[in-house]
Structures are given as C-alpha cells and as structure tokens.
Amino acid sequence: MKLRIGFLGFLMVLCTLAGTGWAQQPQGHYLVLKVDRLGNVQPVFHRAVDVEARPMPEKSLREKAARSSSQLLAETAAWAEIAEIPPHLRGEFAADGQGGQIIPHRVPLNEHYFALRIPASAGNRVSVSYLGRKTTLDLGEISAKSSSLPFAGSSGARSKRAAANSANRLDILVIGDGYTAAEQAQFQTHFTNLRNTFLAHTPYAEYASFVNWESLFVASNQSGADHPPYQAGCTTTSCCADTAAQDDPRAGLIVDTAFDGTFCTAQIHRLVTVSYGKVLAAASAAPHWDQIIVIVNDPVYGGAGGSFSVATANEWSSHIAVHEFGHTFTRLADEYTTPYPGFPNCSDTGGGYPCEVNVTNQTDRSLIKWNYWIGASTPIPTSPGTTGIGLFEGARYQETGMYRPEHTCAMRNLAVPFCNVCSQAYVMMLYAGGSGFAGGRTTASS
C-alpha cells in the first residue's frame, strides 16, 4: 500500500513537472444558493467540481454589485464572482400564440436561486453580499453535509466533460423537463429544433462556431407539465384564474417531473416555469455552462424568462427563448412600449443609468450611439415603417421620449429577425469573452 501511494505521488510530481496537466486538478465547488428579498442566504446544493479561476471582476464592479438589488457579490480574499439576480420573472408571449406583438407580464420574485463555481484556490470562506447584507459560508462545512441539502437528489445527472474549447466559447446547456426515460430521442429532437430556431437568426448562424450547444438529459417519472385547470378567482397553484386556461387542451393534467414544470405560474396561463434550484443543481453535471435553456416537453405554447429561459416544445415557444436570450446573454432592452411601472429609467443624455445598447433617449444625431449606421439622408427621428436604421420613437416601455434603431426587431416582436444594432451587440458580446468557464469537469466521486 505504502509503495503504491509512493508511486502515485511520484507520478503526480512527474506530471506536474512536465506541465502536462495530467495531474488531478484540485477540487473546487459548484454551489447553488437561495436568497430571499431580505438578503438571507441558504445553500441548497453542493457538488465537488474541478473548475479554474476566472479573472476577478474589477473593484468598482464588485462594490457596485454589493450594493445592487439586481446583483450579488460572492468573494474570498483570492476570488470574486458577481451573480445577476433578476427582480422579476418575465412572461413575454405573442398575442396570437405564434409571433408578432409581445404581451408582457412580470412577476416579482421573492426568492432567487443561483449557482457559484468556486475554484479550490479561492479558499473555504466565502462572503456573500446582497442588499447590503453579508453572510459568510464555510465551503468545508457545506461540502461535508452536501447529501442532506434540499436539492441533493437533483445531482443524479451523469457528469459531462467540457468541450476542449469550452473556455473561449459560449456554452449553452439545454436541459429537458417532462421527458420520461423512453422519451430521450424526443428530447434530442426538441433540442435540435430549438437550436435550429436560434440558428435561423442572424447573427447566431454566422457566429455558430463561437457557441457550443450541449444537451443534458434528465429523465422524469411522467411526461409533460402541470396544467392547473381554470377556476375563477383561484389563488393557489392547484388551479388557474386566467381565462386563457379555459381553452387549454390539456387542462387538469398534473404530472411528476424532474423539475416540476408547470403552466399558470402566478395565475398567468402561459407562464411556464420550473424549479430553478433543481435545474441549477442538475446543471452541475456540466458545470462549465455559460447559459441555460430549459425545454418543457409539452405541446401547449408557453415559457418564461428570468435568470434562464424556459420554453415548451411548441414550435412557437422557441421564439420566446430567442427573445429571452437577447436579455440574458446580450443584455438587450425590450423595444416594445407596453408600460412597466417601477422599471428603473435610463438616460444617455446625462444623469442616471446609461441605456442599454439598443435603446436611447438621445436625439442629437451626432451623439446617437448607433449614428455610424444611420444614412445621411435618414431623418431623425425616423418615420414609423421606414426601412433601415434610424431613430424610431417608442421603446423600453415608453411610447415617447425613448427610441430604438429599427422599425422591427426580435426585442420588440416575436418570430422576426434581430435589428442590426442588436445583432452587432451579440457579436461584440461574443468577442468581449470572459463568460467561459475553464475546466468545470465534475470530480470522479460525483
């Protein structure tokens, strides 16, 4: 025994000296945390993973995140990560259940789940700052009790090795809910359909080589999603107060699935959500993921946006995911004008938070962010319906005083192309990099 350990040790030293990377990487952590609106933090899942450190966010960004209500700062002396904490679930559906005008809904979230990937080099004491409240977590203690954490059972997915180029690619992980073990081939078909919908959009097609699409199959006990039946005035999750539920062909179907996919979240029939904590736990099988999309195996139109997109297998639902991805990855603003009471204002003319790349309140031609796209003879502002790039009034939940670059765009309507400014923003985001996790393979014990 002694001899064997000695030999292994000798081998590891050799590998390290040779710089081959064959030596086992030190163990890091994949941690899912729940936070509530008071800033209370609770670990709900832990898995040991090999993950390399990413560049630390700048100090000014860390300080801003610690104070923000939409971001959370996790840090040790040697490592830091900023997690996005969206305040609302977004339900953005086509009025006709296919494409065109978006009918938006927002549901305030009282609790959030997010994943941290922490390299071993970070050390064991992580402080989490949210809403001005600081909580210190001991990774050693959490690791020791990982099997008793609430979502320990969601780690059943088999570990996937990251593609060799994962560190400098955008890794999109697609997870299915409501697929039985016998429906794995159906999941692969729906995965391919979703990817094809994305790749039918410029610039996703042209920059496809910058993206790794990966699927993760997790079997559910039953097929489909919950469809709570219509009941006027319903206030519980076992029924649906939305009159749209009266036309649901699967009304009353209640099934046992891996991620608890359900229609009628917050009494909005098409708002299909899953257990975000369980999905993030299962995603630990591919801990190098950069973005997650969940497909719910159900033919009825619906989905949701938030920290990640959810879309049913209905062919039109994938367009919801395309729009939501514009928010979660490209950080684009909505370009439609339906009011959003309480949404923070932005300004490109001084004072306040600068507007997202695809909207502005700047009407001085020379100062418009996308002025290099605007033809010299194009009037500013530009008349509705004009082809090409200009300054079109109506965007970001305002009919007036806020402008967008083109008449139509996937950030304004569903199942239409992205405008040129939004397309450019996606490409710039890919080139900016920094979202890639290196390593990320779960350890042998997982």
In this complex, which beta carbon is closest to Zn ion, that of residue 159 or of residue 340? 340
Q: What are phi and psi of 232, to 5 degrees?
A: -55, 135
In this complex, which beta carbon is closest to Zn ion, that of residue 191 or of residue 426? 426
User: Segment near Zn ion (CB under 5 A), from 91-99, 147-155, 243-251, 292-300?
Assistant: 91-99
Structure tokens that stand for 419 in this block: 């405008």
- The set of residues, in sequence order, having a beta carbon less than 8 Å from that of 106 and lying 6+ positions away, is 88, 89, 90, 91, 340
In this complex, which beta carbon is closest to Zn ion, that of residue 212 or of residue 309? 309
In this complex, which beta carbon is closest to Zn ion, that of residue 92 or of residue 348? 92
In this complex, which beta carbon is closest to Zn ion, that of residue 288 or of residue 319? 319
- The set of residues, in sequence order, having a beta carbon less than 8 Å from that of 130 and lying 6+ positions away, is 35, 39, 41, 72, 73, 85
Binding residues for Zn ion, total number by CB under 5 A: 2
Q: Which 125-164 positions form the footprint of Zn ion (CB under 5 A)?
A: none
| C-alpha–C-alpha distance, residues 258 and 358, integer Å | 37
DSSP sequence for 68-97: -SSEEEEE-SS-EEEEE--SEEEEEEETTS
- The set of residues, in sequence order, having a beta carbon less than 8 Å from that of 192 and lying 6+ positions away, is none
DSSP letter assigned to residue 22:
-
Apex 271 CA angle, 266 and 275, nearest 5: 80
Q: What are phi and psi of 121, to 5 degrees?
A: -65, -15
**Smallest distance from the beta carbon of 211 to Zn ion, in angstroms?**
21
Selected from 50, 75, 92, 226, the binder of Zn ion by CB under 5 A is 92
User: Segment near Zn ion (CB under 5 A), from 26-34, 35-43, 327-335, 430-438?
Assistant: 327-335
Beta bridge partners of 107: 89
User: Segment near Zn ion (CB under 5 A), from 16-24, 55-63, 333-341, 392-400?
Assistant: 333-341
335 binds Zn ion (CB under 5 A): no
Selected from 242, 334, 348, 356, the binder of Zn ion by CB under 5 A is 334
For residues 227 and 300, is the Cβ–Cβ distance under 8 A?
yes
| C-alpha–C-alpha distance, residues 290 and 119, integer Å | 16
In this complex, which beta carbon is closest to Zn ion, that of residue 264 or of residue 409? 409
Whether residue 119 has a cis bond before it, omega within 30° of 0: no
In this complex, which beta carbon is closest to Zn ion, that of residue 171 or of residue 334? 334
In this complex, which beta carbon is closest to Zn ion, that of residue 157 or of residue 411? 411
**Smallest distance from the beta carbon of 10 to Zn ion, in angstroms?**
57
**Smallest distance from the beta carbon of 320 to Zn ion, in angstroms?**
9
CA atoms within 13 A on the CB side of 385: 0
User: Segment near Zn ion (CB under 5 A), from 152-160, 334-342, 376-384, 423-431?
Assistant: 334-342
- Closest residue to Zn ion, judged by C-beta, is 334
**Contact residues for Zn ion, defined by CB under 5 A:** 92, 334
